[in-house]
Amino acid sequence: MLEIRNYTWFSLVLMGFLTAGTYWLLQNTLLRSPQAISANKAHAPDYFAKQFSISILDESGITQYRISATSAVHYENDAETHATLLSIRAFSPGQPVVTTTGKYALINADSLILDLYNDACIMREASQTDPPIQANSQHFRVLMHDNIIKTDKLVKLQRGPLKMRAYGMIYDNVSQKIRLLNKVHGMISASNLSATKPLQLVSGVFFSRDMHESDF
């Protein structure tokens, strides 16, 4: 497993990992003029990887992110890397592990923005005081540098007996709070009303405080 200690090196190491240091790439891409590259670009793979896993470490050497995928491929005429069955695990000290997955993903050129599509899912593990939390959508954008996951699509959310849906969501991985943006609807089963305080869920560690009772 590859370990990387900061985001700057992550971009370089990801490129080196996927290309495996091939001499062909250096001779035919990096050492040629931009005009020659532009004139000869085609929608053909210039590097690929299978069953890879990359760990990103913080300044203290602790794993902050772990990214894995079944496969990844880059095309000559495309700035993004295409990946299948991508998984991103985020680790924060004292916080439950958060895993974001998608059947298909795009990784931008500097490797700091990842778009996950097709049954994209965010799963936060249970803590000693909170049940597991799951969010599902057709698209999640992961901003690794900002520790943010967001979408403007329909998202379905579940936290214990509470089920919610909305259009648009912002998840802060540092505070582990979620903000639902538009057309927010919530439902909680009658059997859990006596033991659960729905409004407390709105203002607790999971949902941000700028949501209101009228959102339910």
Give the model confidence (pLDDT) of 96-151 as tens digits. Answer: 999 999 999 998 877 688 999 999 999 999 888 888 999 999 999 999 888 999 99
Do the beta carbons of residue 52 and residue 13 sit within 8 Å?
no
Alpha-carbon dihedral sign for residues 189, 155, 124, 68: positive
Question: What whole-number distance in Å separates Cα of residue 53 and Cα of residue 5?
Answer: 15
**Residue at token pair 């996950």:** 116
Mean pLDDT value of segment 17-45? 52
The secondary structure of residue 207, as a DSSP letter, is B
Buried b (16+ CB within 10 A) or exposed e, 62-84: eebbbbbbeebbbbeeeebbbbe
| pLDDT at residue 38 tops 80 | no
The secondary structure of residue 126, as a DSSP letter, is P
Structure confidence at residue 110 (pLDDT): 73
Share of the chain above pLDDT 90, in %: 32
Task: Look up residue 86 and give its two tokens.
Answer: 């991508």
Mean pLDDT value of segment 189-206? 43
Structure confidence at residue 119 (pLDDT): 94
| pLDDT at residue 52 tops 90 | no
**Residue at token pair 């979620």:** 178
- Tell me: the pLDDT tens digits for 69-86? 999 998 887 778 899 999
More confident residue, 13 or 87: 87
Neighbouring C-beta atoms of residue 113, cutoff 10 Å: 16
Strand (E) or helix (H) holding 202: helix 198-203
Q: How far is CA 202 from CA 63, 152, 180, 196, 208, in A?
A: 30, 20, 10, 12, 7
Task: Look up residue 186 and give its two tokens.
Answer: 């919530």
Amino acid at 30: L
Residue 78, φ and ψ in degrees, nearest 5: -130, 130
Q: Which domains does the chain have, with CATH numbers?
A: 2-215 (2.60.450.10)
**Average pLDDT for the chain:** 75
